[in-house]
Structure 1
């Protein structure tokens, strides 16, 4: 008696996209485009996601910051430290709220000073060099290597640096038995869905139950 054959990788990828193909930016209500405000909002979300905290909590906290008017670098810098703490607290982001409030304020000032509040200038400064993009992002307080990967993973479609599958996304691919070479992985999905696919792979890396559910649905 033979065991069940592994599902076709393309079918697994389609199943994953259908079930979990939503970027973290979309969850936070960010309509990501290559314009200053949404690019900055993604930076804020990236800062929040970089801490050891649940993704859903980071998303909720980002929504509260934006609802309180802190939607661009200037408004973030002009908000008081306590206003930022209060918004983070309303989103359930309490363990790291004080440190993160400071980071957000300092980060907003850096973005204003270096890029006039427009992260497209960071993109222009780095050109198509993703290593340099990562280095410049890591100059922002609160953004380390993990945060730079998050930002580039989410921004890859609008900044046309595809395919960008970081180590965490590739761990998700491994868990599903998908190719772990980024170009091979990219061939499984439409070229305008790389960011959504990468986000879905990260969810697989973070939760074995997601992987099992996708495999079962793809095998049905």
Structure 2
């Protein structure tokens, strides 16, 4: 992984500033080494600026918005996609019970009935308003507000969606939400999105953001990253 800091020099020219930058880079490298995939990739989503992957990322954001472990949300998303529910049309055409069964197959049982209803209504809204193509939502004057109209997507869901979609919708990058900032603080990294964005290549921003969320949610993982970043 190539970091942007490889070719940078400290603006201040002070050795302390250079040392801090080198330390931040070491921490980020250690984090990315231990976070090889985004949550989207773990769910089997090959994220591109095309309708189906964008919709699949939205589904994952809805699932991860609930108070559940991230791995359960990822498994539930995979189960829905394996059941053929990969776009708004197939999701809307599926029966409520078919969606419930797929969610249950992924271990998403606590919220399966409510979520099945939201997924159906959300798919219908996207078909009616955008022809099932989230690229049209991207063209709205305020895409974040438009996302909030989708059933099951609150502020947390918007953050989850944009953390990964920033890789294909670069106008949102660098996107570091509150949970990712919590992870940055835990690792002693800068919390400014611009400063964090300066530590990695643009294509790595989704993985960095998801890795920081992982750190915020998992203290042992944070300790592992910090230990790996220590000089030998």
**Global fold match (TM > 0.5):** yes
1:179 has 2:190 as partner: yes
Q: Distance in 1 between matches of 2:202 and 2:30?
A: 16
**Cα RMSD after superposing both structures:** 1.2
Q: Give the 5 Å matches for 1:69-108.
A: 69-108=84-123
Q: Give the 5 Å matches for 1:3-152.
A: 8-126=23-141, 132-152=142-162
Structure 2 alignment gaps of length 5 or more? 1-18
Which position in structure 1 is the counterpart of 2:10?
A: none
How much does 1:21 deviate? Answer: 4.0
Q: When the two structures are aligned, how many residues end up with a matched partner?
A: 211
Q: Distance in 2 between matches of 1:69 and 1:184?
A: 41
Query: After the TM superposition, which segments of 4 or more aligned residues of structure 1 sit over 4 Å from their partners?
Result: none
Could you tell me which of 203, 206, 221 is aligned with 1:210? 221
Q: Distance in 1 between matches of 2:56 and 2:202?
A: 24
Deviations 1:26-65 (A, max 9, x none): 0000000000000000011111000001110011011111
TM-score (norm 2): 0.89
Which position in structure 2 is the counterpart of 1:129?
A: none
Deviations 1:115-172 (A, max 9, x none): 100000000123xxxxx22211110000000000110111001011210000000100
Which position in structure 1 is the counterpart of 2:15?
A: none
How much does 1:214 deviate? Answer: 0.4
Q: Distance in 2 between matches of 1:191 and 1:37?
A: 23
Which position in structure 1 is the counterpart of 2:164?
A: 154
Q: Distance in 2 between matches of 1:206 and 1:21?
A: 17
Residues 21 and 199, structure 1, Cα contact 8 Å, conserved in 2:
no
SS of 2:53's partner is helix
Q: Distance in 2 between matches of 1:114 and 1:178?
A: 41
SS of 1:29's partner is coil
TM-score (norm 1): 0.94
SS of 1:183's partner is helix
Q: Distance in 2 between matches of 1:31 and 1:106?
A: 24
SS of 2:202's partner is coil
Q: Distance in 1 between matches of 2:143 and 2:223?
A: 35
